[in-house]
């Protein structure tokens, strides 16, 4: 396949969706920079547009189509390359929405995307799609750096074997596949060399890391190897299922200074009947036990929870069970989503699809509870000293912003930019809008002194 050698070719990349997509787009950026093209914002004219789509909700699918139309309008002669989950499951819809030349690259061929994007050859839809369900190897997508970020994502796993009844992702991503540990180490070392101070390990089903590599090397073993490297890094985990929060994992987090006391655990519903319809592999009692055990073993841990509202057949009583369960638990925050009907999933065919208004009302109630949980967690941490990674400035305010190890947004007034991308001890002083204001504690002093400049 011939590749154009136009050094001044302008390429724009845009990304929808999850951390996995963001990692993959960062890999596209890295490969494009090696080709010496000019990477421009998606809002500017370009010869090539790359759109990394999402399909987790109907809204994400609509946004994906909108971005394709926007690129074609900006430059009808541009080469428009569409990839990601929406491209994987709705390639025919993309072909039919325009007569223009669109190149569709399936999730199983993202390692070839830059080559395809810069090629002068005609796009062959079949060549770049294939059956994602048959893929057994994870795409190799090395990343040099994340532009504009002090926290890097590292995709160590792809695909999902669970087939929750509401979820299109297994059809878009295929079966679970893991990045070999030596490749994980190589990518982590690159991030260290580039000066990153925190890595978020991510995947479509992170807790299934290693299941395809053999019986003796899973996520806990990967974390042990990473921590043993003694890089000047913090490690953070993305979402894990309740059944994957083991005592071994909690002990490792407790005993390691580099693995952050933070867990994101999807609940989805507090009703056992709804959980069963969702094809989730736990009940409400199991979820409660996992959260309580995590808090007992990791004092100060932040636990975030996903909640899916308005699943088909969710009664007022089912929803109240969710409210009651979450009110009783020491969780730090909620991510609340209304159920979105996705053609091709089991849930899309179920009776009892709820009106939009009902879902919106329930989402609003849970977001009020989310605010209460955040404030309660912040109050619990007031007066403590946390190690804060300073990541940037907060808008036009004269303050730096960052995150504690247990993922509290922290704001520091009046400090200069020399603290950016450093980890500093901070006393959490008072709650403010969207986080906590803190005082930097001075090092090498007897006792504790904090700077509240």
- Structural domains in the chain, sorted by start: 10-130 (3.40.50.12160), 385-451 (2.40.50)
Q: How many alpha carbons fall within 13 Å on the CB side of residue 275? A: 19
Beta carbons within 10 angstroms of residue 330's beta carbon: 15
User: How many CB atoms neighbour CB 335 within 10 A?
Assistant: 16
**Distance (Å, whole) CA 288 – CA 148:** 38
The residues with which 432 forms a beta bridge, in sequence order, are 435
CB 83 within 8 A of CB 51: yes
* Encoded tokens for 416: 């200069």
Residues in the chain with pLDDT values less than 70: 1-7, 99-100, 120-131, 133-134, 148, 395-396, 443-453
pLDDT at residue 393 in the model: 84
Over its C-alpha atoms, the chain yields an Rg (Å, rounded) of 23
Residue 386 tokens, joined: 């946390």
DSSP 11: E
Instruction: Tell me the three-class secondary structure of 177-233, residue by residue.
Output: EECCHHHHHHHHHHHHHCCCCEEEEEECCHHHCCCCCCCCCCHHHHHHHHHHCCCCC
Rounded Cα distance, 213 and 8, in Å: 42
Give me the pLDDT at residue 148, please.
67
How far is Cα 323 from Cα 326, in angstroms, rounded to an integer? 5
Residues 47 and 10 sit within 8 Å (Cβ to Cβ)? yes
How far apart (Å, rounded) are the C-alpha atoms in residues 112 and 124? Answer: 13
Using CA atoms, how far residue 357 sits from 167, 271, 339, 346, in Å, is 22, 21, 12, 23
């Amino acid at each position: 396949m011939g590749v154009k050698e136009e050094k001044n070719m302008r390429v724009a990349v845009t990304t929808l969706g999850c951390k996995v997509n963001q990692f993959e787009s960062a890999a596209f950026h890295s490969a494009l920079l090696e080709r010496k093209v000019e990477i421009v914002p998606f809002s500017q004219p370009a010869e090539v547009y790359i759109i990394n789509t999402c399909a987790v909700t109907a809204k994400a699918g609509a946004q994906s189509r909108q971005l394709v139309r926007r690129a074609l309008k900006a430059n009808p002669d541009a080469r428009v390359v569409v990839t990601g989950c929406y491209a994987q499951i709705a390639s025919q819809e993309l072909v039919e929405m325009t007569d223009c030349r669109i190149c569709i690259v399936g999730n199983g061929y993202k390692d070839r995307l830059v080559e395809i994007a810069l090629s002068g050859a005609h796009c062959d839809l079949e060549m770049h799609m294939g059956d994602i369900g048959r893929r057994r190897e994870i795409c190799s997508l090395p990343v040099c750096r994340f532009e504009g970020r002090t926290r890097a994502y590292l995709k160590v796993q792809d695909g999902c074997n669970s087939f929750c009844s509401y979820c299109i992702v297994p059809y878009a991503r295929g079966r679970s596949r893991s990045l070999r540990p030596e490749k994980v180490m190589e990518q982590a070392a690159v991030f260290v060399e580039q000066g990153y101070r925190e890595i978020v390990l991510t995947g479509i089903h992170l807790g299934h890391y290693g299941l395809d590599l053999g019986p003796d090397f899973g996520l806990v073993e990967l974390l042990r190897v990473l921590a043993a490297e003694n890089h000047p890094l913090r490690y953070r985990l993305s979402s894990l299922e309740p059944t994957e929060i083991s005592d071994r994992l909690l002990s490792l987090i407790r005993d390691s200074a580099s693995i952050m006391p933070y867990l994101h655990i999807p609940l989805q519903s507090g009703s056992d009947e709804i959980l069963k319809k969702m094809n989730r592999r736990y009940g409400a009692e199991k979820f409660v036990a996992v959260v309580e055990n995590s808090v007992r073993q990791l004092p100060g841990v932040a636990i975030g929870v996903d909640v899916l509202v308005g699943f088909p057949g969710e009664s007022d009583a089912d929803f109240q069970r969710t409210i009651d369960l979450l009110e009783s638990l020491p969780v730090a925050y909620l991510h609340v989503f209304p159920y979105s009907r996705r053609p091709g999933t089991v849930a899309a065919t179920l009776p009892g699809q709820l009106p939009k208004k009902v879902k919106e009302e329930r989402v609003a109630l849970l977001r009020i509870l989310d605010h209460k949980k955040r404030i309660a967690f912040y109050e619990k941490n007031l007066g403590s000293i946390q190690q804060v990674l300073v990541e940037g400035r907060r808008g036009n305010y004269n303050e730096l912003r960052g995150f504690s190890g247990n993922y509290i947004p922290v704001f520091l007034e009046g400090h200069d930019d020399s603290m950016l991308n450093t980890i500093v001890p901070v006393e959490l002083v008072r709650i403010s809008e969207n986080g906590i204001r803190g005082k930097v504690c001075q090092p090498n002093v007897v006792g504790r002194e904090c700077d509240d400049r």
